[in-house]
Amino acid sequence: MSTPLLEMRNISIHFGGIKAVDNVSIDVMPGEVVGLLGHNGAGKSTLIKILSGAYKKDAGEIFVDGKKVEINSPIDARMHNIETIYQTLALSDNLDAASNLFLGREITTKFGLLDDTAMEAESRKIMARLNPNFQRFSEPVRSLSGGQRQSVAIARAVYFNARILIMDEPTAALGVHETAMVADLIKELKAQGLGIFLISHDTREMMELCDRVSVMKNGQLIGTERVEDVTEDDILSMIIMGKNPKRAA
């Protein structure tokens, strides 16, 4: 078996006395979508926040291309081409699309000043690919629809040549049409060889989009399965009962 694009090995973190993530290992191969499933509070979001640099792990190791890396801040994660699309979208509502897209990585002129026209031009290019209907470049993102905001968040991750993409409930706030658009995008990015961690509550969607799913409960990893080896019901019992009925049998 080849080296995973990204591997998180024996990761633990606790808040006060609570072990939010307890000795969990997951990995993703290039061109693979790995789903993370579990109830609210199972530790999925906490686990990926460690990967995106928002939280610092207490124990465990992270490997990119088989090489051990240290991720202590969002900037570290970006340096390793790990990009995250958060559940809350993490946009500054008062800024326009281009400002959000380039937040923390602005294009500047030779005098060190922000080059807004260049950033808007780049935003127009990437949006033409992701969401051709998007035209509202000069308005604060507050006034955009859920889908439009989502495409800004995705554009931000994709524009900077992400190799590993973390998507936390990317379709939670979206309508049917927009959800389909995100699904198509995930397939396209996968075809380009990105490794994607996908978090969702929608098991059917996960069965369709993912190659493998890892199920978590109470901070622990219940198991990782290839989707073709399991049924939706198997997944559900892993989520609810904390064990895979087939394996247990």
Task: Note the residues at the interface with other proteins (CB under 8 A).
Answer: 52, 54, 73-75, 78, 84, 86, 88-95, 99-100, 103-104, 106, 108, 112-114, 116-118, 120-121, 140, 142-143
Rg of the chain over all Cα atoms, to the nearest angstrom: 18
Q: Rounded distance, CA 38 to CA 235, Å? A: 9
Residue 120 or 234: which CB sits closer to other proteins?
120
Task: Give 220's strand partners.
Answer: 217
Structure-block tokens of residue 232: 């939706």
Q: How far is the CB of 112 from other proteins (least distance, A)?
A: 8
| DSSP reduced 3-state for 18 | strand
Residue 87 or 218: which CB sits closer to other proteins?
87
| DSSP reduced 3-state for 61 | strand
Q: How far is the CB of 81 from other proteins (least distance, A)?
A: 14
Question: Whose CA is closest to 87, among 171, 190, 184?
Answer: 171
Q: Rounded distance, CA 185 to CA 33, Å? A: 12
Residue 149 or 217: which CB sits closer to other proteins?
149
Residue 120 or 178: which CB sits closer to other proteins?
120
Pairing of strands 212-217, 33-37: parallel
Structure-block tokens of residue 125: 């290019």
Residue 82 or 230: which CB sits closer to other proteins?
82
